[in-house]
Amino acid sequence: MGKPLIIVESPTKIKTLQKYVGKEYKVAASAGHIRDLPVKTLGIDVDDDFKAEYVNIKDKAKIISHLKKIAKDSNDIYLAPDPDREGEAIAFHVMDILKKKDRRFHRVLIHELTQKGIEDALKKPLEPDVNKYDAQQARRKLDRLVGYQISPLLWQKVQRGLSAGRVQSVAVKIICDREREIRQFVPEEYWTITADLMAQNPPSFNAALVKIGQKKAKITHEAQAKKIVTDLENAQFFVDEIKKKTIKRNPLPPFITSKLQQDAINRLRFSAKKTMVVAQQLYEGVDVGTDGPEGLITYMRTDSTRIAPEAAQEALELILQDFGKDYALTTPRHFKNKNKVQDAHEAIRPTSVFNTPKKLKPYLSDDQFKLYDLIWKRFVASQMSQAIIDQKAILIKAGQYLFSVSGSTVKFDGFMALYEIPETSPGNDIQSLPHVREKEELAREKIISKQHFTKPPPRFSEASLVKELEKNGIGRPSTYASIISVIQDKGYVELVKRYFVPSELGFIVNDLLVASFPHLLDVSFTAQMENNLDDVENGSLEEVDLLARFYEAFSQTLDNARQNMVSVKGVGVKTDLTCPSCGNPLNIKIGKNGHFLACTAYPDCTFTSNYTRDEKGNIAIVEKQVDNTPVKNCPQCGKPMVQKDGRFGLFLACTGYPECKYTESVMSENSHQDIGLNCMEPGCTGRIVEKKSKRGKIFYGCSQYPKCTFASWDKPVGKACPQCNSPFLVEKQTKREGKILKCPAPKCGYKEKQAL
Amino acid 276: pLDDT = 94
Amino acid 654: pLDDT = 87
The CATH number given to whatever domain includes residue 199 is 2.70.20.10
Nearest C-alpha neighbor of 568 from the set 508, 658, 628: 508
**Does residue 672 sit in the same domain as residue 749?**
yes
Distances (CA, A) of 573 to 82, 154, 509, 531: 46, 14, 11, 37
**Does residue 642 sit in the same domain as residue 693?**
yes
In this structure, the dihedral spanned by the alpha carbons of residues 471, 477, 479 and 481, taken in order and rounded to 10 degrees, is: 90
- Rounded to the nearest 5 degrees, what angle is found at the Cα of 205, between the Cα atoms of 226 and 244? 115
**Does residue 676 sit in the same domain as residue 746?**
yes
pLDDT at position 217 over 80: yes
DSSP 254: P
Buried b (16+ CB within 10 A) or exposed e, 152-190: ebbeebbbeebbbbbbbbbbbbbbbebbeebeeeeeeeb
Confirm if 598 and 607 have CB atoms less than 8 A apart.
yes
- Rounded to the nearest 5 degrees, what angle is found at the Cα of 510, between the Cα atoms of 670 and 616? 55
pLDDT: which is higher, 656 or 746: 656
Nearest C-alpha neighbor of 112 from the set 363, 346, 359: 346
Q: With the C-alpha atoms ordered 470, 475, 477, 482, is the resulting torsion angle positive or negative?
A: negative
Amino acid 8: pLDDT = 94
**Does residue 120 sit in the same domain as residue 83?**
yes
What's the alpha-carbon Rg for the chain, to the nearest Å?
32
pLDDT at position 669 over 60: no
DSSP 292: S
Is 608 part of a structural domain of the chain?
yes
pLDDT band at 668 (very low <50, low <70, confident <90, very high): very low
**Does residue 298 sit in the same domain as residue 211?**
no
pLDDT: which is higher, 600 or 624: 600
Instruction: Look over the chain and give the mean of its residue pLDDT values, rounded to a whole number.
Output: 89
Rounded average pLDDT over 379-383: 97
Measured between its terminal Cα atoms, the distance across the chain in Å is 43
Helix axes 272-284, 257-268, angle to 10 degrees: 110
Distance CA 389, CA 276 (A): 35
Confirm if 247 and 215 have CB atoms less than 8 A apart.
no
**Does residue 80 sit in the same domain as residue 178?**
no
Rounded average pLDDT over 67-96: 94
- Rounded to the nearest 5 degrees, what angle is found at the Cα of 380, between the Cα atoms of 311 and 417? 160
Confirm if 739 and 756 have CB atoms less than 8 A apart.
yes
Distance CA 56, CA 1 (A): 29
Indicate the pairing of strand 237-249 with strand 441-453.
antiparallel
pLDDT band at 458 (very low <50, low <70, confident <90, very high): very high
Is 228 part of a structural domain of the chain?
yes
pLDDT at position 367 over 90: yes
Distance CA 493, CA 495 (A): 7
Is 37 part of a structural domain of the chain?
yes
CB-count burial class (<10 Å; 0-12, 13-18, 19+) for 231? middle
pLDDT more than 70, % of the chain: 93
**Domain end (from 402, 431, 453):** 453
Distance CA 370, CA 267 (A): 10
Rounded average pLDDT over 616-645: 81
Nearest C-alpha neighbor of 195 from the set 186, 207, 203: 207
Distance CA 155, CA 161 (A): 7
Is 133 part of a structural domain of the chain?
no
**Does residue 224 sit in the same domain as residue 318?**
no
Distance CA 521, CA 497 (A): 27
Is 588 part of a structural domain of the chain?
yes
275 φψ region: left (φ > 0), alpha (ψ -120 to 50), beta (else) = alpha
DSSP string, 697-717: -EEEEETTTTTS--EESSEEE
| Per-residue pLDDT tens digits for 280-296 | 999 999 999 888 899 99
Distance CA 675, CA 691 (A): 10
Confirm if 299 and 350 have CB atoms less than 8 A apart.
no
Distance CA 507, CA 621 (A): 19
Report helix, strand or coil for 592.
Answer: coil
pLDDT: which is higher, 196 or 705: 196
Confirm if 642 and 627 have CB atoms less than 8 A apart.
yes
Distance CA 344, CA 205 (A): 53
**Does residue 92 sit in the same domain as residue 107?**
yes
Confirm if 74 and 41 have CB atoms less than 8 A apart.
no
The CATH number given to whatever domain includes residue 370 is 1.10.290.10
**Does residue 116 sit in the same domain as residue 31?**
yes
Amino acid 429: pLDDT = 45
Confirm if 167 and 562 have CB atoms less than 8 A apart.
no
The partner residues of 739 in beta bridges, in order of sequence, read 733
**Does residue 636 sit in the same domain as residue 747?**
yes
Range of the domain at 156: 138-185+459-564
**Does residue 373 sit in the same domain as residue 393?**
no
Indicate the residue type of 35. R
pLDDT band at 218 (very low <50, low <70, confident <90, very high): very high
**Domain end (from 341, 367, 382):** 382
pLDDT at position 424 over 60: no
Rounded average pLDDT over 602-610: 88
Report the catalytic residues. Answer: 299
The 10 Å Cβ neighbour count of residue 212 is 18
Is 317 part of a structural domain of the chain?
yes
Distances (CA, A) of 393 to 193, 202, 408: 18, 16, 9
* H-type alpha helices, 473-542: 477-489, 504-516, 523-537
Tally the domains of the chain: 6
| Per-residue pLDDT tens digits for 238-274 | 999 999 999 999 999 999 999 999 999 999 999 999 9
**Domain end (from 332, 360, 382):** 382
Amino acid 628: pLDDT = 73
| Per-residue pLDDT tens digits for 110-124 | 999 999 999 999 999
pLDDT band at 704 (very low <50, low <70, confident <90, very high): confident
Confirm if 181 and 428 have CB atoms less than 8 A apart.
no
**Does residue 581 sit in the same domain as residue 481?**
no
CB-count burial class (<10 Å; 0-12, 13-18, 19+) for 62? exposed
The 10 Å Cβ neighbour count of residue 65 is 10
Indicate the residue type of 144. R
The CATH number given to whatever domain includes residue 163 is 1.10.460.10
